[in-house]
Structure 1
Amino acid sequence: MATYKKRGYKPKTQKEKEEVVEEASTTAEVFNTLDEGASKTEEWVVKNQNYIIGVIGAIAVIVLGYLGYEKFVAEPNQKEAMNEMYTAKKYFDDAASGISSDSLYRMAIEGGEGKFGMTDIASEYSGTPAGNLANYYAGMAYLNLKDYQQAIEYLDAFSSDDKMLGPIAKGGIGDAFVQLDQLDKGLEYYEKAFKANTNDFTTPLYLLKAARVALDLGENQKALDYLKRIESEFSESTEAGQVEVLIGKAEASL
């Protein structure tokens, strides 16, 4: 057990003298070890300083490059893409309102008045939020033009956590597959659509579409489960008024 010794204490017995010598020796050994470690560290730093400087320089280049890209490339690209999208988006909105819809959907896709269409924006500004959104508009425009393969391609390229656009894009892919008579794929995407987000608009809409396709595929229990969910969770929705007859049909088929 170590004992506390006051400053200036002088050993009196032989045993105490030996303890002092031993403590001094241990302390010296510790400092020698620290000195040797520091010396080796200094030697390693000197020997590898070019490597260290290179690593630090590379990290600095990456950080500065990222900041520079965000400031001087990504932000201007996004702003430019949104400016380009304005005209194409107007064509799309007018078409959705029923004004010369086919020709306007086509102009939304291909462009007009010297401005890019949605497919050009998706290609030229890929990697930007505007480029991603252009995939959605192009896909929905193709869907309305009954070009289902192109609709699937562009809607599949679109990704979003938005509680409305995400499910609608998945549902649009489901619609396209159903029109192509690929009912199993249509059902798969309707299920993805209502699972993407739970809300009073898209959830009952795609539950009903999934139930109808499930009935056509003979998956009657699945159809019944989806219809019952509409009935219990979305009783105020438009779709709820359509489920009674379908529930009877599903139950009769079980």
Structure 2
Amino acid sequence: MATYKKRGGKPKTKAEKQSQLEENSTTAEVFNTLDEGASRTEAWVEKNQKYILIFIGAVAVCVLGYLGYQQFIQEPKESEAMNEMFQAQQYFEQALTAPAKDSLYNLSLKGGEGKYGFLDVIDNYGGTKAGNLANYYAGMAYINLGEYQNAINHLDDFKSDDVMLGPLAKGAIGDAFVQLGQNEDALGYYEKAVAQSDNDVTAPRFLLKAGIVAMNLNKTDVALKHFKRIEDEYATSPEATKAQLYVGQAEAMQK
């Protein structure tokens, strides 16, 4: 039959007495070690209390400063920038459908009626979301004006994770490089546009453009890869029918 040692009972044998003494000694050592560690920590804190308080104060100042900056400086500046850009956006939207496009695109860039254009917003509110968006609008306006290097400069400055605007900006840079006769650069930006977002609108559009440019560069393997991806992944897109035709052309070029 198994026997169990009752905790708290008195030791009966010499061995049990020795064991209890060792156990009590070990426990005491543990507590002494903890006490010594706590004492050293307290001593260190007491010795360095001034520096600790300075550090805590500095962190608090940084946090409060950041929150204050966001609330009292950045947010009002963001709102002001959006208001200043409103008229430029109106000119840009009118240019999309108006007969006299160039004059309206120029107004959107340089301003009119005493209001800022996109270039003014970029210069005066460069660190805001509106200033960033103004780079997108300015780039698109310059493409429509045929000023392709200016378009590239502004679109390259535009940063966005948006699933539509991001790839549209990259693809527009590709379009500008095509107009400048720099097809290698154009191909790279079309592929970046596809890589940034595989949505059903922009991805097949820029895959098709990438394939066409690749064919012009005699990169038929690359072209076929892009065209066949449209067939496989975007079969219902408007670009799918065109991709089928280009697949035949690219395969004929390989023979």
- Give the alignment's TM-score, normalised by structure 1: 0.88
Report the counterpart of residue 78 of structure 2 in structure 1: 78
Greater displacement, 228-237 / 96-105:
228-237
RMSD of aligned C-alpha atoms? 2.3
Structure 1 equivalent of residue 91 of structure 2: 91
Aligned CA distance change for structure 1 residues 235 and 21 (closer, same or farther; 3 Å): closer
Q: 3-state SS of the aligned residue for 2:127? A: coil
Q: Which residue of 2 aligns with 1:240?
A: 240
How far off its partner does 1:41 sit? 1.6
1:248–1:28 CA distance, 2 compared to 1 (3 A)? closer
TM-score where L is the length of structure 2: 0.88
CA distance in 2, matches of 1:124, 1:163: 27
Q: Provide the C-alpha distance between the structure 1 equivalents of 2:44 and 2:151, rounded to a whole number of angstroms.
A: 61
- Give the aligned partner of residue 142 of structure 2: 142
Deviation at 1:99, TM superposition (A): 4.3
The structure-2 alpha-carbon separation of the partners of 1:77 and 1:244, relative to structure 1 and needing over 3 Å to count, comes to: same
2-side partners of 1:13 and 1:216: how far apart? 98
Can you list the C-alpha shifts for 1:8-29, whole angstroms capped at 9, x where unaligned? x666666666555555544444
Q: How does 1:226-237 map to 2 (within 5 A)?
A: 226-237=226-237
CA distance in 1, matches of 2:217, 2:250: 12
Partner secondary structure for residue 57 of structure 1: helix
Query: Which residue of the partner structure matches residue 190 of structure 2?
Result: 190
Partner of 1:32: 32
Residue 131 of structure 1 corresponds to: 131
Q: 1:173 is matched with which residue?
A: 173
Q: 1:142 to 1:36 in 2, by over 3 A?
A: same
Gaps in structure 2 of 5+ consecutive residues: none
How has the CA–CA distance of structure 1 residues 24 and 239 changed in structure 2, closer, same or farther, with 3 Å as cutoff?
Answer: closer
Give, as a single letter, the amino acid of the residue that structure 1 aligns with 2:216: D
Unaligned runs of 5+ in 1: none
Could you tell me how far 1:3 is from its partner in structure 2?
A: 4.6
Superposition deviation, residue 187 in structure 1: 0.7
For residues 72-93 of structure 1, what are the alpha-carbon distances to aligned partners after superposition, in whole Å with 9 as ceiling and x for unaligned? Answer: 1221111111111111110110
Report the more deviating stretch, 149-158 or 160-169. 160-169
Displacement of 1:135: 0.9
Q: Distance in 2 between matches of 1:24 and 1:235?
A: 79
Q: Which moved more, 1:126-135 or 1:14-23?
A: 14-23
Deviations 1:65-112 (A, max 9, x none): 121121112211111111111111101101112342111111111122
Say if 1:110 and 1:25 are closer, same or farther in 2 by CA, change over 3 A.
same
- Percent of aligned pairs sharing the same letter: 57
Structure 1 equivalent of residue 121 of structure 2: 121
After superposing the two structures, state which structure 1 stretch, 60-69 or 234-243, moved more.
234-243
Amino acid at match of 1:152: I
- The residue identity in structure 2 corresponding to 1:132 is N
CA 242–15 in structure 1, closer or farther in 2 if over 3 Å, else same? closer
Shift of the alpha carbon at 1:202? Answer: 1.5
1:156, 1:129 → 2: CA distance?
15
Distance 1:119 1:12, change over 3 A: same
Q: 1:151 and 1:199 mapped to 2: Cα distance?
A: 24
